[in-house]
Chains A and B, each alone.
Chain A
Amino acid sequence: MAKILALRLVRLIATMLAVSFLTFIMVAFLPGDPVNAVLPITEERTPEIEAAVRAELNLDKPVITRYVMWLGDVLQGDLGKSFVTDQPVAETIKDRLPVTAQLAVMSIGLALLLAIPIGVLGAYKQGKAPDQISSAGVQVALAVPNFVLAVFLIRFFSIDIPIFPAGSWNRISDGIGPNLRNAFLPTCALALSQMAVFSRLLRSDMVNTLREDFVTSARAKGLSDRYILFRHALRPSSLSLVTIAGINIGALLGGTVIVEQIFSLPGLGRRLIAAIGVGDIMVIQGITVFIAFAYVVINTAVDLFYMVVDPRIRRG
């Protein structure tokens, strides 16, 4: 077990290095001169001033040197400063992350809440009408892109029946009620396709569990179907469900971009798009690397969790 842990850790660090290097290189080749982002057009510009700015930003050094310097800073928690707003990137992330994380967690929660009964029902009534109807529904849900759903939700629930406002945001600290009203539609938009994936997964795992001997013996003991389904069969069937849900937390940190954009939410993704628009290198690479790191770390954590829960995997 210790050996596996050490191996995973080495792999994790290697992946993070590779990811940060790739991001840095990519961003370093962004078209446009970062100096333009720093110096206002109105300001006087001489080659000397431009050179001074370049030296200040270390842009006069080779890419590799810059990468090593930047990585050193990153390890100390310093992701640099935005060229445009002068705000430290770490502060931006701290500011924006709660919004994105809230959407990620809430949408996964909602998806699980809907997916568990649907998946269990499908497995219980396997091949019968309820299963066929829910499977068909799941297939349709899988085909609806989140941005399409978001636009439809805005039409129905912000315009036709204006109960959920779109285009504004209240922090949790401003009161939980207004916050939830803002967060509800984006959460739904993100939850639908996850619900489909989750319930499909749970259904197929549960179908296998229901064939096991312990289910037959529970039935022989005369336990009710509901008790067997939710008390005996659900837990052993939910391993891959929990894994995917965990991985989704990481994936959604980047995956909420478009929904944040549609609902004008002050999250990480929208900040990233804004930074791309003005070529704000530090913010682009800071946020990208942060999201990728979070994704990799969460995936590793989920893998390890999986090993702890299921001893069979430890050897494989």
Chain B
Amino acid sequence: MTDLRNPQTATTDDIEIVAGTSPAPVAGSPGAPRRAGPLEIFGSMPITIKLATLWLLFVVLGAIYAKLDVSVFGGALPLQDPALQNNGFDAATGEFRNGEPNEPMSADHFLGTDVLARDTFSRVLHGAWVSLSVSISSALIGVGIGGLLGSLVGFLRGRVETLTMAAIDTILAFPALVLLLAVISLFEVRSLLLICALIGFLSIPTYTRVARATSLAVSNREFVLAAEAIGTKPRKILLREILPNVLPVLMAYALVAAAVVIVVEGALAFLGLSVPPPTSSWGTMINEARRDIKENFFQVVVPSMAMIFTVLSLNQVGDWFQRRAAHRSSAL
């Protein structure tokens, strides 16, 4: 099925896929595969997906900015210290700071202050860093281990596949949150690294499933059969035919998986089982603001909306890329 409204993408797709089976052509030579650049991809998105992408971009840049501010510039960038209590005692001046807890929005505090008079805008950005970290680490671990394993067993078939998938099914037999709670209770100190690693390892099974299913489908395609027929080594087939075709599907899945992972981290944080305070995480913020839910509902709304918008955007953009990947492979 080719996209009739945009014949150009269809032809570049075709070239790319044909080229994938031959030795890598010299870049810039006629007939070389031309990957769509980021701007081109952005341009081809419908308006809602564009908005979602912009929101995700904002979250990612905000998170990186907040992290840089603390770890590289030592708080010199214009962003408040997320742990600073604006009504606390200031040792430098010998006086109490003149902030208040639960302040409304103002020029000093874009999104007001929380129960402990800390700047909410800054805490949202720092919370975004936690969400970003778990998303990226789960994608890296999921694709790196689960994706590779799934592609491999989907290509090899036989007993290895049966055994691997039985093991995967066993892990998936645990309800995820219960398993995570049971595992997390093993650790007394919960650093961001630990949370990222745990959530990352728990995402391996689903990535393995997706990768295996895709790899199975790709393995039956003509170009793989052709490569086998001309005696290409299995290792080379896996690296040059299977993986390049499984990867785009996994990347699209990673966006949808990131949405799940952000909610899981949020749930843990909400239960007080994620990164310890004063580190801010959206789940922690919602839980802390819940105590003053009657007086200052706004402080519950802010981190909630940050989480909902992010999850919604990840789902939309992920779905869009998944459809795009499916469309590309059906153009084969």
Contacts and interface: CB of A to CB of B under 8 A. Distances in A.
Q: Real complex partners, A and B?
A: yes
Give the interface SS of chain A, mostly helix, strand, loop or mixed. helix
A15 B175 contact: no
A276 interface: yes
Give the interface SS of chain B, mostly helix, strand, loop or mixed. helix
B178 A254 contact: yes
Interface stretch (B10-18, B81-89, B182-190, B233-241): B182-190
Nearest to A299: B173
A5 interface: no
Interface string B281-325: 001001000100110010010001001110110011000000000
A258 interface: yes
Contact of B173 (A29, A148, A295): A295
Using C-beta atoms within 8 Å of the partner chain, give the interface range for chain B. 35 or more
A237 to B, nearest CB: 22
Contacts of A273: 181, 271
B182 to A, nearest CB: 5
Contact of B178 (A27, A151, A292, A296): A292
Contacts of A144: 308
A289 to B, nearest CB: 10
Q: Which of B173, B283, B300 counts the most chain A CB atoms within 10 A?
A: B173
A22 B300 CA distance: 38
Contact of B270 (A19, A23, A26, A147): A147
A145 B267 CA distance: 8
B266 A147 contact: yes
A195 to B, nearest CB: 16
B194 interface: no
A139 B311 contact: no
B312 A143 contact: yes
A258 B267 contact: yes
A267 to B, nearest CB: 13
Interface of A: 11, 14-15, 18-19, 22-23, 26-27, 29-31, 139-140, 142-145, 147-148, 151-152, 154-155, 159, 250-251, 253-255, 257-258, 261, 269, 272-273, 276, 279, 284, 288, 291-292, 295-296, 299
Given A147-B270, A151-B286, 15 more contacts: A22-B174, A23-B182, A140-B308, A143-B259, A143-B308, A143-B312, A145-B266, A151-B290, A155-B297, A251-B175, A257-B178, A261-B271, A276-B181, A291-B178, A295-B175
